[in-house]
Amino acid sequence: MNELKLKDLYDGFRDPKTIKALKNLVDKEAAKFPGKINVMEVCGGHTHTIMKYGLNQLMPENIDFIHGPGCPVCVMPKERIDHAYILSLQEDVILVTLGDMIKVPGSHGSLQDARSKGADVRFVYSPLDTIKIARENPNKKIIFFAIGFETTTPMTAALLEHVTKNKIENIYFHINHITVPEPMKVLLESNDCQIDAFIGPSHVSVITGSKIYKEFVTKYKKPVVVAGFEPVDVMQSILAIVKQFNENRCELEIEYSRAVSNDGNIAAQNLINKYFTKATHFRWRGLGDIPDSALRLRDEYSNMDAEIIYKNILPNEKIDDHKLCICGDIMRGVAKPNDCKVFGKACKPSSPLGSCMVSSEGACSAYYKYGNLIK
């Protein structure tokens, strides 16, 4: 058997002929549908794909992309970034997190700024890399600042499992794991909701299964297609959605059948449940407080919970985005980045004011970076 190469995993999914053929099929199906369809891609990864490959330019007039709240870095409230910043500047602390988090500014600055002031901040590709840092620095407290949706939670759980089983005593956790369905419901229940269908992120469903979206089809009557992140995946998903509208169906479909099932990865789910429970509240940057939309460490692991251990130095006052920022409206799908007065002027990737500009996966950042040449 020939060795599988990395390029085999994406080559076919960026094939120009396939993309063009799918565009023609989308055009034909969309021409049959009399109304407009607003499709929300929940995940910032999809926003990035749509803008990077210009897929919005391939859409017919009556199909529009609405950019959702699914970027864990973007939706992190400033007060929690401040936690990371403050923790990193403690003398005996090494703060470890995933790459994108380093650049996001809180009210004091970003972790990058903290590092320039002497903080020991490190980024890892996998949370398990934290173990090596802890081993090499036995006299330091290693705080893993955990971020991300259902995709990255199992990796944090795996680190917790390793730490508890091996009785490692110098790794602590600041948990910021959030979940996808709750903000989607908040968006659908808002008065000015303009969402007609969803593209769901495949990597989330690899863990959770597609079952987390059942309610959106049954209760809210919005088609959901779980999609991969390549251009062909997104185009196929749009085609599937338009077909549902033409055939008067409202279903949960899996476009990314190469890895997603209804039930997902049960072992990962069990590991998550072993260490985490629902946090009653999490304040999403741009969207406000959403109950049950985040996880926290279970009480039995509070000895590793940096939020509890350092509670005397971690402030909890709300810090709002800039007054002119309309990120909330952008994530609810009622405004586009270039409707914002500060977009590209006072608010840029190098000096972001609002949540959608802070990470490369945010809608404003993607619009700024890739431009919006045709649509």
Partner 1 sequence: MMTNITLAHGNGGQENNELITKIFYKAFKNEILSKSEDAAVIEDGTLAFSTDSFTVNPIEFPGANIGKLAICGTCNDLAMMGAKPKYLTCSVIIEEGFEVATLKRVVDSMQTELEKNGAIVVSGDTKVVPKGSVDKIFINTTGIGQIEQKGISSNNIQDDDVIIVSNSVGKHGATIFAAREGIDFSTNLKSDCASLWPVIKKLIDEGIQIRALRDATRGGVSAVLNEWAKQSNICVEIEEEKIPVCDEVKGVCELLGFEALSLANEGTFVMAISKEQASKAIELLKSIEISKEASIIGNVTLKHQGKVVLNTAWGTQRFIDLPTGELLPRIC
Cβ pair 222, 216 in contact under 8 A? yes
Q: In angstroms, rounded to a whole number, what is the distance separating the alpha carbons of residues 235 and 120?
A: 43
- Residue 9 engages partner 1 in binding (rule: CB under 8 A): yes
Q: Using the rule CB under 8 A, which residue among 30, 51, 175, 197 binds partner 1?
A: 51
Q: Which stretch binds partner 1 (CB under 8 A): 75-83, 251-259, 286-294, 364-372?
A: 364-372
Q: Using the rule CB under 8 A, which residue among 49, 151, 205, 236 binds partner 1?
A: 151
Q: Using the rule CB under 8 A, which residue among 42, 63, 66, 98 binds partner 1?
A: 98
Q: In angstroms, rounded to a whole number, what is the distance separating the alpha carbons of residues 264 and 281?
A: 26
- Residue 41 engages partner 1 in binding (rule: CB under 8 A): no
Binding positions for partner 1, 317-356, rule CB under 8 A: 349-350
Q: Using the rule CB under 8 A, which residue among 37, 58, 193, 226 binds partner 1?
A: 58
Q: Which stretch binds partner 1 (CB under 8 A): 25-33, 114-122, 175-183, 331-339?
A: 114-122
List the one residue out of 27, 148, 21 whose CA is nearest residue 97.
148
How far is the CA of 354 from the CAs of 39, 218, 337, in angstroms?
23, 34, 11
Question: How many residues line the site for partner 1 (CB under 8 A)?
Answer: 52
List the one residue out of 371, 358, 335, 355 whose CA is nearest residue 56.
371
Q: In angstroms, rounded to a whole number, what is the distance separating the alpha carbons of residues 342 and 364?
A: 11
Shortest spacing between CB 282 and partner 1, in angstroms:
18
Q: Which stretch binds partner 1 (CB under 8 A): 76-84, 99-107, 171-179, 219-227?
A: 99-107
**Which residues, in sequence order, are bridge partners of residue 276?**
297
Q: In angstroms, rounded to a whole number, what is the distance separating the alpha carbons of residues 305 and 276?
A: 11
Q: Which stretch binds partner 1 (CB under 8 A): 12-20, 189-197, 208-216, 324-332?
A: 12-20
Q: Which stretch binds partner 1 (CB under 8 A): 111-119, 158-166, 255-263, 309-317?
A: 111-119
Cβ pair 174, 144 in contact under 8 A? yes
Q: Using the rule CB under 8 A, which residue among 1, 2, 7, 192 binds partner 1?
A: 7
Please list the alpha-helical segments (H only) found in the chain. Answer: 16-32, 44-52, 78-88, 111-116, 129-136, 153-165, 181-189, 202-208, 214-218, 231-246, 266-275, 306-309, 327-331, 355-358, 363-370
Shortest spacing between CB 259 and partner 1, in angstroms:
14
Please list the alpha-helical segments (H only) found in 97-201. Answer: 111-116, 129-136, 153-165, 181-189
- Residue 20 engages partner 1 in binding (rule: CB under 8 A): yes
Using CB under 8 A, list all residues that contact partner 1. Answer: 5-7, 9-10, 16, 19-20, 23, 43-45, 48, 51-55, 57-58, 72-73, 98-103, 112-113, 115-117, 123, 125, 147-149, 151-152, 203, 231, 349-350, 360-361, 368-371, 373-374
